[in-house]
Amino acid sequence: MIAGLVSRALDRGALAFLAALAAIGILVPVLNLFVSATSPFYLSSYFVALFGKYLCFAILALSIDLIWGYCGILSLGHGAFFALGGYVMGMYLMRQIGTRGVYAHPVLPDFMVFLNWPELPIYWYGFQHFAYAAFMVLFVPGLLAFVFGWFAFRSRVTGVYLSIITQAMTFALMLGFFRNNLGFGGNNGLTDFKDILGFNVQAPGTRAALFMISTLALMLGFVICRVVVSSKFGKVLVAIRDAEARTRFLGYRVEAYKLLVFTLSACMAGVAGALYVPQVGIINPSEFSPGNSIEAVIWVAVGGRGTLTGAVLGAVLVNYGKTYFTSGVLAPYWLFVLGGLFVAVTLLLPRGIVGTIHHHWREWRDGRHPDGTRVPHAAPRAAE
């Protein structure tokens, strides 16, 4: 049954996209590990870590596109779920340090020793086990999204009001995680990681493996989103996006549909955060910043809302531009560039890059002019 759903959801374009991701997931580690550093085809470990981070951002963009592009839920606080997944993975990585920390305490992380914590808080229990941490990566963001969505959707909060509430949620979490007495490292966050599953997180092989895992996670997330939006469930989501009151009048439990897809989206964002942390080596409260969530929405808008592939493309392109513009003399002007990009896309490409390409492709395929008029076909020849 699952195989049938997947096969119906993946058209030729989706299969080509997955094939391209698979090729990248294999080619990049090979060029990093098995090609000489003097070769023009060699890719450095810095490149692997950088684009591994972009892949994590692409998963976050997918999660936002699922709820915004197909259900009309504009979340300006999805960075909260991303950061929670990152903190969960950071807690596991901190527990792996053990006596190799600065204070060589066998149980307590360095920041707890520095702050004179007498013992490990109960909510840190179990994070020495990877399986428990992997479960919590899904459970913690999913639980927060379920509770938040339960109250918000049952109260029929929609539109800009819902967006503001999600932004307030992530801002409140940021302020909370900045506090030292919460037990998550305060403004310094969690860092100085050593191992993941017994492998050195700084080793080139580990970085390559994390890149491949991030690629697989992105592929899996894409397939899940395609299955969702191609199913009857996805058709109801689109109906909710386009005419929520009418969909409710037809007898659909709109709140249940929105709650389910919002929770699924939060779990995807949590996975993205969990993969992000070991590749960048740190997680701190700045990841909860509302600005990060707004920036993620811009990725989706640039790539193409409601296209899935556009969300991935937008995340990679915008973040590559951010890396380029913030590493030279243009660094002080990056926010102006980002804001200008968003305004330009909104005015000139309201469908985003991929959405605009799809639109013109359909027009060409249907034999229409850009103004919507149909191209007249030649009259059929009379029978002889």
| DSSP state letters, 321-374 | HHHHHTTSTTGGGHHHHHHHHHHHHHHH-TTHHHHHHHHHHHHHHTTB-TTSPB
pLDDT at 373: 53
pLDDT value for 383 = 38
> Which pLDDT band holds residue 371 (cuts at 50, 70, 90)?
low
Q: What is the pLDDT of residue 382?
A: 39
Q: Can you give the pLDDT at residue 378?
A: 44
Distances 261 to 46, 81, 211, 292, 320 between C-alpha atoms, Å: 35, 14, 27, 21, 29
Whether the pLDDT of residue 369 is over 90: the answer is: no
Residue 376 has pLDDT above 70, yes or no: no
Percent of all residues in the chain with a pLDDT value above 90, rounded to a whole number? 75
CB proximity list for 102: less than 8 A, separation 6 or greater = 110, 192
Length of the chain: 384
- Return phi, psi of residue 368, to 5°: -115, 150
What are the φ and ψ backbone dihedral angles of 339, each rounded to 5 degrees? Answer: -65, -40
Q: Is residue 159 exposed (0-12), middle (13-18) or buried (19+ Cβ within 10 Å)?
A: exposed
| pLDDT at res. 135 | 97
Q: Is the pTM of this model over 0.85?
A: yes
Per the prediction, the chain carries an average pLDDT of: 90
Spatial distance between the Cα atoms of 1 and 3, rounded to a whole number of angstroms: 5
pLDDT in tens, 61-100: 999 999 999 999 999 999 999 999 999 999 999 999 989 9
- Nearest 5°: phi and psi at 326? -95, 10
pLDDT digits (tens, 9 = 90+) for 169-188: 999 999 999 998 899 999 99
DSSP-H helix ranges across the chain: 2-9, 12-33, 45-71, 79-95, 110-114, 130-154, 159-177, 204-230, 232-242, 244-249, 254-280, 290-303, 309-325, 334-348, 352-365
